[in-house]
Chains A and B, each alone.
Chain A
Amino acid sequence: MSAASRFLRRITPQLVTLAAVLASIAIVFPGFFEISIANGRLYGSAIDILNRGAPVALLAIGMTLVIATKGIDLSVGAVMAICGAVAASAVDRGMGLVPTLALAIGTGLACGLWNGILVAVLKIQPIVATLILMVAGRGIAQLITEGAILTFRHEGLIFIGSGTFLTVPMPVLIWLFTGVIVALVVRRTALGMLIEAIGINPRASMLAGVNTRVLLIAVYMASSLCAAIAGIIAAADIRGADANNAGLWLELDAILAVVIGGTSLLGGRFSIVASLIGAMIIQAVNTGILLSGFPPEFNLVIKAGIVLVILVLQSPTVQSAFIYFRRNKQSSPADAKTVVQ
């Protein structure tokens, strides 16, 4: 089996799920796939999913790497809030676009370094280690914005959230670009294999000379870097930093995207592309519920139901039942013979 067909087989369940979700939205809302261009920008529900899904997609990229090492990063939502606040307050003080972005991204990397040190050096369980920043992060963001929603009118920063390039909204380009770069880096270097090795058997990896400590720190820094970009987009989108609500609960959506993408929470084999499709599935469900005209109070319940179906289909028990049925079908004539004997 070639690498390409292995890859296709890997992402097939996610593609099928996404197609099913999109098809069912199209049934309820016939105009769903219509795309138009106005004012040099693409419009349409499908474009909206790609655009609105940007933060979760970005978070899912970093979260995939963290989960592949058998870790988890609960702090990404809070890091989004911090980095959004840093960017807003920087432009508020008259800084230029480039130093603002550098400062916000640097803040994100520092958050990742903190998480990484807690996990890799102090050996604190990832869920607890990142919980610290999850809780503290929102407070830090509020300190930066001084408790208010810090609005700004910096055109350059706003462009990142709502501008377009060749008619495509910037957030879409940013998450696609980040996804492609990260996927290429992990697969074209040895990074992906070493991360998987750590996630599957940390002790054996350490004994084989893998620098587990440095790699773990790097993975948490990558996750926070993605969160920083997502935070900048979220702030630019609403033209303000909302320390209370920016990225709220998005860490859970990101984890969900990774899980729907088929990467096990037990670590090991991962696929960035599958996680990105997972993020789009989540956003499609969100958009679909809105479009179908259900009262908003149903949203979370319906979403939970859909996610439940997806996860049940992926569960080991159901999977092995599938395999069992398939095998039974194939071998039933042989079985019949043995019964006769």
Chain B
Amino acid sequence: MSGSQPLLRATAVTKTFPGTIALDKVDFTLHPGEVHALLGENGAGKSTLIKCLTGAYRRDGGDILLDGMPIDPRNTLEAQSFGIGTVYQEVNLLPNLSVAENLLLGHQPVRFGMISGRTMNAAARTMLAQYGLDIDVSRNLDNFSVAVQQVVAIARAVSLSGKVLILDEPTASLDAQEVQMLFEVVRSLKERQLGIVFISHFLDQVFEISDRITVLRNGRLVGAEATADVDRVRLVNMMLGRELKQETRESGRTDRPEGMPAIRFQGFGKSGRIAPFDLDIRAGEVVGVAGLLGSGRTETAEVLFGVTPHDSGKVEEKGATLPLGSPRDAIAGGFGFCPEDRKGDGIVGDLSVRENIVLALQARRGWTKPLPARAQAAMAEEFIRRLDIRTPDAEKPVGLLSGGNQQKVLLARWLATHPRFLILDEPTRGIDVGAHAEIIRLIEELCAQGMSLLVISSELDELVAYSHRVIVVRDRRHVAELVGEDITTDNMVAAIARPDAGRADEAAT
């Protein structure tokens, strides 16, 4: 297959946003009749690459060749006319129109200036027959299952574009049987020599359907290989990476603090988000959480902080039960939480660095007890110095800072509240190397001061560097706990990659 002329070849595609390089000279090659899986964690650059290919973003550098011709799609419509179609996870069709109207919208068959319903339905039926789908095309789209809607979306995309089909997490909300139905469709398109880009974080599905795999991490290309040549462990390694060469240690810290657990979660969980788990945290202890995207990492953090209130179990501190029904409860209990989605859930972009730093403390004091202006300024100055936040002054809107500095501002916001238990969800994602090392140093410093931390990271070396214990999550369940010398990247990868027997059985039936 590699001998054939590539259908789509992107070379050195670069895309920058203020403060971040989303794509750094990424190459991507797609052959006709190939299913090419695109893998990577959040923020790896998958969706940015897709958006550059489909014209949703204009790239800042690099070339895209389609059938050997350079293209520069300005919008998705233009990309469609070149032959690149996309189907998104949340089907972007019109649920209140009929299936036939959805398929032919924009070019309905016309008779005497009127849309001919009969011709349209007939055309729609013919289109869907190619996919082995026999449904009543005159009924509204929302009468059908998500899987059928996906196939309709694919049929529309293929009829409009017909060379390259990008499937962005098409299986995220499908059950095993529907996945198989979708894969049948994908295989039939493959026979018709379409090039298919398949994005998913279900590794089983990737191994089942794809011919080649490209892995991105932190906006860079990690590798592109034939699926047959990689195994799960290597793939997980590629996705999660081993970045921190200089600070790598072989296994986790063995100086786990002695004494009674400071905070004790028992049978804590939220149905549909994270299965009940037990977690004891001692003062001055760093607990790492490892797992793939969607495995229950963030869900664990959110249930601990009361963002999604728990519906089973309880949390105790020195024998007394803590209420934990909302972030306000958690903050009152001395918790802090730096969320994974820094822009969406963390910073308040238009407010200044100073205001972002004092926000949590001020919210806890209540609006009637404002921190005096001088105290606010002093606090901001102190944290800007202590965490080395790069900003011209404390009044600059935080949205204009780089990712690493925004992360430091968020850390400062929580440190200002003097928390006993700090939850950090991907504190080092998407930030530059310098800030990265500083944040890791800070984690160690805080823990030495007696603070308890729970750190979620997809960089396993990082977890090895600072964790006393590591909890491995898979399929929204805490599946393993590694302590001290057992914390090695190999052990974590093995625990994460262990194929889930349940899912494999489901798929087989």
Which A residues have a C-beta under 8 Å from some C-beta of B? 1, 188-191, 193-194, 196-197, 200-201, 203-211, 215, 268-269
Contacts and interface: CB of A to CB of B under 8 A. Distances in A.
A215 B307 CA distance: 19
Nearest to B305: A207
Nearest to B354: A193
Contact of B328 (A1, A188, A189, A209): A209
Contacts of B370: 188-190
Given A189-B370, A203-B345, A207-B327, A194 B363 contact: yes
B283 to A, nearest CB: 22
A201 B307 contact: no
Contacts of B206: none
A190 B371 contact: yes
Given A204-B344, A208-B359, A196 B350 contact: yes
A191 B367 contact: yes
A217 to B, nearest CB: 13
Contact of A210 (B305, B359, B368, B395): B359
B454 to A, nearest CB: 16
B127 to A, nearest CB: 38
Nearest to B371: A190
Interface core residue of B344, B363, B395 (most chain A CB under 10 Å): B363
A207 B351 CA distance: 16
A211 B363 contact: yes
Nearest to A267: B350
A204 B363 contact: no
A207 B344 CA distance: 11
A194 B368 CA distance: 11
Contacts of A191: 367
Given A196-B351, A269-B350, A207 B345 contact: yes
A194 B367 contact: yes
Nearest to A1: B395
A200 B363 contact: no
B331 interface: yes
Contacts of A1: 395
Interface residues of B, number: 30
A209 B328 CA distance: 5
Interface in B293-318: 305, 307
Interface of B: 305, 307, 327-328, 331, 337, 339, 344-351, 355, 359-360, 362-371, 395, 413
29 contacts: A1-B395, A190-B368, A190-B369, A193-B351, A193-B355, A193-B359, A196-B348, A196-B350, A197-B348, A200-B348, A200-B350, A200-B351, A201-B344, A201-B347, A203-B344, A204-B346, A204-B348, A205-B348, A207-B307, A208-B327, A208-B348, A208-B359, A209-B331, A209-B360, A210-B359, A210-B363, A211-B328, A268-B350, A269-B350
A64 to B, nearest CB: 16
A129 B417 CA distance: 36
Contact of B347 (A196, A204, A211): A204
Contact of A204 (B328, B345, B368, B371): B345
Nearest to B331: A209
A210 B327 CA distance: 9
B364 to A, nearest CB: 6
A307 to B, nearest CB: 25
A269 B328 CA distance: 24
B346 to A, nearest CB: 6
Given A200-B351, A208-B360, A189 B368 contact: yes
A280 B435 CA distance: 50
Contacts of A210: 359, 363
Contacts of A209: 327-328, 331, 360, 363-364
Q: 6 tightest A-B contacts by CB? A: A209-B363, A209-B331, A190-B370, A210-B363, A208-B360, A190-B367
Given A197-B351, A200-B350, A269-B350, A207 B367 contact: no
B300 to A, nearest CB: 16
Nearest to A206: B327
A197 B345 contact: no
Contacts of B362: 190, 193-194
B293 to A, nearest CB: 20
Nearest to A268: B350
A190 B369 CA distance: 7
A54 B421 CA distance: 52
A241 to B, nearest CB: 35
Contacts of B367: 189-191, 194, 215
B417 to A, nearest CB: 8
Contacts of B337: 207
Contacts of A203: 344-345
Given A200-B348, A200-B350, A207-B305, 8 more contacts: A190-B369, A191-B367, A193-B351, A197-B351, A204-B345, A204-B346, A204-B348, A209-B364
Nearest to B342: A204
A172 B338 CA distance: 48
Contacts of B346: 204, 207
B239 to A, nearest CB: 27
Contact of A200 (B327, B345, B349, B413): B349
A176 B346 CA distance: 38
Contacts of B359: 193, 197, 205, 208, 210
A268 B399 CA distance: 13
Nearest to A218: B367
Contacts of B365: 190
Contacts of A205: 348, 359, 363
B456 to A, nearest CB: 15
Nearest to B344: A203
A210 to B, nearest CB: 4
Contacts of A206: 327
A208 B355 CA distance: 12
A205 B348 CA distance: 7
